[in-house]
Amino acid sequence: MRIVLMGPPGAGKGTQATAISQRLSVPHIASGNLLREHRAKGTPLGEEAGASMDKGLLVPDGLVIRMVLDRLNQPDAKDGFLLDGFPRTGEQAEALDKSLGLRGVQMALNIAVGTDELVKRLGGRLTCRTCQTPYHPVTAPPKVARRCDKDGGELYQRDDDKPDAVRQRIEVYNKQTSPLVEYYGRRGTLKEINGEQAIDHVQTAIFAALGVKA
């Protein structure tokens, strides 16, 4: 299947993306990871994107689209894929569908979580300074207080995980993605998933929407 996964910060997309990718045997393609890989390898696309990022500018839509389409043309994605973090706007969604043609996106899953719940989740989140692994004192606590399970790095709270910043991030996300939700809604490919349930219940709802057994 060709799937787009959407959801605000703190919705648990990473956890669900891993489960979907494994269950359907399709690659999980996260645009942020893709961008970092291109920069690390020094590819022409990575260098072009880095020129914008180094100036504090957003990477142009056209460049992001080229990067994603280049990845979708690789052999492991020929029978399906799971896109995470792309498209982010209606314009990007239109460009993606136009490029894919008859192989267009089959389903857009939107994990919906209310602002208060997201603030509760992200407001207590801690991040490892060295490997960036996230933790939460209630839902995903570290084995040793303030230390990362993976590398022992110090855990700290990022400025953008503080309550006021979280609310601002969510507001920006909702404004940015509302046209995208409308785009897929008009095409009948949008599936809303209640992301405020327990993780396993969210996963069950996603698999039901996809028409596969958990």
Which string of DSSP letters, residue by residue, matches 84-150? ES---SHHHHHHHHHHHGGG---EEEEEE--HHHHHHHHHT-EEETTT--EEBTTTB--SBTTB-TT
Does position 161 have pLDDT exceeding 90, yes or no?
Answer: no
**Would you say how long the chain is, in residues?**
214
**Which residues belong to the active site?**
13, 88, 125, 158, 169
- Indicate the domain borders of the chain: 2-113+175-210
Q: Which residue has the tokens 């994603």?
A: 68
Tokens of 8: 């605000």
Domain 2-113+175-210 belongs to what topology?
Answer: Rossmann fold (3.40.50)
Give residue-wise pLDDT tens across range 20-45: 999 999 999 998 889 889 988 999 98
- Summarised one tens digit per residue, pLDDT across range 51-63 is 887 887 778 888 8
